[in-house]
Structure 1
Amino acid sequence: MPRQVDHVGRRRLIAEAVCRLADERGLEGVTLRDVATRAQVSMGAVQRCFRTKEEMLVFALEHVGERISERVRARLVRSPAQSAGTALGHAVTEVSLLGEEHRAEARVWLAFVAQAAVSEALAGALRSNYAALHEAFTRLVSEAGEGTDRAVPLDPRREARALLALADGLTTHVLVGHLTPQEAQDVLHTHLTGLWEQPGPTSSRP
């Protein structure tokens, strides 16, 4: 009886190999041959899973995005009684990849972002990932804003866009050493706190 091949498992194994190589060399250093060697499969096995290198890279990017999203979901499930504001803070922190344990993942993520500037296939995958995160952040901002008494109500979709941009920016600043992880956490905390504070009166010019 022919041996059954777990194609889903093999594709994930190859995606992990892509990520390890991207962490070490950047995406320009990722070749099908090196991926096969790192994943300990044949070149033929890689080519049966992915028709092109671009298809392989798109799957690897989606694999990383799903891994981050799964951590966000797990963080929220672990503390179901937390406020929406606290949940939002946890979610943005996970997406920012500020912890030392996520440093390699941050390098891989930014390598994909850089390559997406010249690859429409990768750009499309990134847009889908950002769209899903934007919807999740929008919901959390909306729920958290319901418990505040602001003269100017929050625009949840706009604030969600700002948080996504802030998360990506903090990832970059920590990775290149412009900010320490703690400084980045302070920036994030200050921004989130400011969302729920009542804005003061604006001064008028004479």
Structure 2
Amino acid sequence: MPRQVDHERRRRVIAEAVCLLADECGLEGVTLRDVAARAQVSMGAVQRCFRTKEEMLVFALGHIGERITERVQARLVRSPAQSAATALGHAATEIALLREEHRAEARVWLAFVAQAAVSEPLADTLKANYTALQKAFTRLISEACESAECAVPLDPQREARTLLALADGLTAHVLIGHLTPQEAQDVLHAHLGSLWERPARPRHTT
């Protein structure tokens, strides 16, 4: 059992090294030799953990996805005073990776997204992550609608897909400098507000 625990811990150390290198020079700059050096293990240790570079990248992507999902789930642990709409806003903010402390993570995430366009294993991992997040968003939107927080009747699944795509897009716009984090936050909050704000009642004229 201890050997298995050590093996899993080493895989996570290697995944962290992959992320550090990807942040510095993109995935094209990630080599097994550089990963071994950054993780302070031998090349043989890396190859015992992962048979190929692609297998290593898939594990690293899953590692990042788990980290983001854990933060989202922590924000979804609602206090009695927190509504489904508020929880959804917190979760969407986490996924958009707009805060300064998540900037490196955002760069690495988008590097993997780009690579997934030409790697089916990476694409499969991403789709699994997005599916789980979409389900969480759909549930929260459904709860908000049931508690009469929605401005108009909504299709929860469609709105969840829209919100997930918006959050991902805002990540890219902030990273390239097209939007500031605050501007991106404003866009996100405005979209969420359009879901929950009730339209003004028309005035009756005599």
Same-fold call, TM cutoff 0.5: yes
Change (3 A) 1:110 1:52: same
Matched, 1:171 2:162: no
- In 2, Cα distance between the equivalents of 1:199 and 1:177? 34
Alignment map for 1:195-206 (pairs within 5 Å):
195-198=195-198
Describe the SS at the equivalent of 1:74: helix
Q: CA deviation at 1:78?
A: 6.5
- In 2, Cα distance between the equivalents of 1:67 and 1:150? 30
- Counterpart position of 1:32: 32
CA contact (8 A) 2:15 2:59 kept: yes
Alignment map for 1:63-142 (pairs within 5 Å):
63-77=63-77, 79=79, 81-142=81-142
- Counterpart position of 1:48: 48
- Counterpart position of 1:204: none
Cα displacement string for residues 143-169 of structure 1 (whole angstroms, at most 9, x for unaligned residues): 111222768411000000000000000
- In 1, Cα distance between the equivalents of 2:172 and 2:188? 14
- In 1, Cα distance between the equivalents of 2:150 and 2:63? 40
* Larger mean Cα displacement after TM superposition, 176-185 or 142-151: 142-151
- In 1, Cα distance between the equivalents of 2:34 and 2:70? 28
- In 1, Cα distance between the equivalents of 2:150 and 2:109? 36
Q: CA deviation at 1:197?
A: 2.5
Describe the SS at the equivalent of 1:179: coil
Q: CA deviation at 1:198?
A: 3.4
- In 1, Cα distance between the equivalents of 2:188 and 2:42? 45
Describe the SS at the equivalent of 2:77: helix
Change (3 A) 1:88 1:49: same
- Counterpart position of 1:188: 188
- In 1, Cα distance between the equivalents of 2:149 and 2:137? 20
- In 1, Cα distance between the equivalents of 2:69 and 2:31? 27
| TM-score, scaled relative to structure 1 | 0.92
The number of residues matched between the two structures is 199
Q: CA deviation at 1:122?
A: 0.4
- Counterpart position of 2:162: 162
Cα displacement string for residues 71-102 of structure 1 (whole angstroms, at most 9, x for unaligned residues): 11112227454100000000000000000000
Describe the SS at the equivalent of 1:198: coil
- In 2, Cα distance between the equivalents of 1:52 and 1:199? 56
Matched, 1:143 2:143: yes
**Which amino acid letter does the alignment assign opposite residue 106 of structure 1?**
A
Q: CA deviation at 1:42?
A: 0.5
Query: Where do 5+ consecutive residues of structure 2 fail to align?
Result: 202-206
- In 2, Cα distance between the equivalents of 1:194 and 1:23? 35
- In 2, Cα distance between the equivalents of 1:4 and 1:65? 25
- In 2, Cα distance between the equivalents of 1:81 and 1:151? 20
**Which amino acid letter does the alignment assign opposite residue 36 of structure 2?**
A
